[in-house]
């Protein structure tokens, strides 16, 4: 294989790896906007907090003498998901519910304020410098080599692809077949009508924030292990990239006097587990 093709292959694998994690974060943006018509600008900080929680859990277990990589990663995922869920629920209750019926600008300011608060909270409690994470997954496969350049795929990249696929599949099944999933789709279609039909819209909205937080936490654990370094400011850039991916991967659609978000190209958001107005 030529060096140019190997370089393309390597960049494609790197792009799919990062794109997979950004897709997990982007789901939180699309789901929240699809139901309440607001953008959760504090969502990136939940991703950052998920990375820190997994690091703390892994470090604590290693100090106890536990060194099994898969056990450490599993504990990191579990701790990150639980804590991030609590943060997602709290963000909705503190920053969004009080201003849900206010002007959009007020909700935007509230979300940005929450983002700044979380960023500085982690900076003060954990320090503002980079934190190196222990490398728990090693190994890579060489796909080809030419003129000293080798295209490789790491074990961590394969794990990221598999975990992303399983997370998307689980969310798709939940949205399509569960009772709360049907409630989410009804609220995305028409929030007021869903309320009139007896759906607890407050619970659905809180659940939506929690689901987005879980996906962001999973992405935080994966990217933390992939890069090996975290800091309190990684959430902003990752959040902006994921938000850009959500915008580029969807359309604005006008329906019934309200804008609705379709969270994937070609109207196939249901296949990715993202609510669409016709689900």
Per-residue pLDDT tens for 181-221? 999 999 988 888 888 888 898 999 999 999 999 999 999 99
pLDDT at residue number 263:
38
**Res 271: pLDDT:** 36
First-last CA distance in the chain: 45
Residue 21: pLDDT over 50: yes
Q: Does 231 have pLDDT greater than 80? A: yes
What does the mean pLDDT of the chain come to? 84
pLDDT in the model for residue 166: 95
Strands 131-132 and 229-230: antiparallel
Helix (H/G/I), strand (E/B), else coil: 251:
strand
Q: Does residue 49 surpass a pLDDT of 50? A: yes
At 148 the pLDDT is 77
Phi and psi (nearest 5°) for 253?
-130, 135
What lies within 8 Å, CB to CB, of 125 at 6+ separation is none
| pLDDT at 56 > cutoff 50 | yes
Residue 29: burial class (beta carbons within 10 Å; 0-12, 13-18, 19+) = buried
Q: Which of 244, 243, 245, 251 is nearest to 268 (CA)?
A: 251
Q: Check pLDDT > 60 for residue 264.
A: no
pLDDT value at position 254? 35
Q: Which of 264, 85, 279, 103 lies closest to 187 in space, CA to CA?
A: 279
CA angle 9, 14, 20 (to 5 degrees): 125
pLDDT tens for residues 67-126? Answer: 888 899 999 999 999 999 999 999 999 998 888 888 878 888 998 999 999 999 999 999
Instruction: Please count the helices (runs of H) and the strands (runs of E) in the chain.
Output: 10, 6
CA angle 67, 70, 74 (to 5 degrees): 110
Q: Residue 141 pLDDT more than 90?
A: no
| pLDDT score, position 250 | 56
Distance CA 119, CA 106 (A): 20
- What's the pLDDT score for residue 261? 36
Between 201-227 and 43-63, two packed helices, what is the crossing angle to 10 degrees? 60
pLDDT of residue 276: 37
Per-residue pLDDT band at 249 (split at 50, 70, 90): confident
Structure confidence by residue, pLDDT tens digits, 150-165: 888 999 999 999 999 9
Locate 129 and state its tokens: 């410098």
What is the model's pLDDT at position 5?
Answer: 85
Q: Are 222 and 21 within 8 A, CB to CB?
A: yes
Tokens of 8: 């393309």
């Amino acid at each position: 294989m030529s060096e140019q093709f190997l370089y393309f292959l390597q960049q494609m694998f790197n792009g799919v790896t990062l794109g997979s994690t950004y897709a997990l974060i982007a789901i939180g943006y699309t789901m929240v906007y699809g139901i309440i018509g607001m953008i959760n600008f504090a969502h990136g900080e939940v991703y950052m907090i998920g990375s820190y929680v997994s690091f703390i859990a892994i470090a604590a277990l290693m100090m106890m003498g536990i060194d099994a990589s898969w056990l450490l990663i599993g504990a990191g995922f579990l701790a990150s998901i639980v804590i991030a869920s609590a943060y997602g629920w709290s963000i909705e209750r503190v920053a969004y519910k009080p201003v849900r019926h206010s002007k959009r600008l007020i909700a935007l300011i509230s979300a940005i304020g929450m983002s700044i608060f979380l960023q500085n909270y982690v900076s003060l409690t954990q320090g503002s410098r980079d934190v190196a994470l222990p490398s728990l997954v090693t190994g890579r496969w060489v796909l080809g080599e030419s003129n000293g350049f080798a295209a490789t795929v790491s074990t961590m990249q394969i794990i990221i692809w598999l975990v992303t696929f399983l997370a998307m599949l689980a969310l798709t099944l939940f949205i399509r077949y569960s009772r709360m999933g049907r409630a989410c789709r009804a609220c995305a279609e028409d929030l007021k009508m869903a309320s009139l039909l007896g759906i607890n819209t407050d619970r659905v909205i809180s659940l939506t924030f929690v689901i987005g937080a879980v996906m962001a936490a999973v992405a935080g654990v994966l990217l933390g292990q992939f890069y090996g370094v975290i800091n309190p400011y990684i959430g902003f850039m990752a959040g902006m990239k994921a938000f850009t991916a959500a915008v580029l991967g969807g359309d604005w659609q006008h329906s019934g006097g309200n804008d609705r978000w379709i969270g994937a190209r070609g109207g196939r958001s249901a296949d990715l587990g993202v609510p669409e107005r016709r689900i």
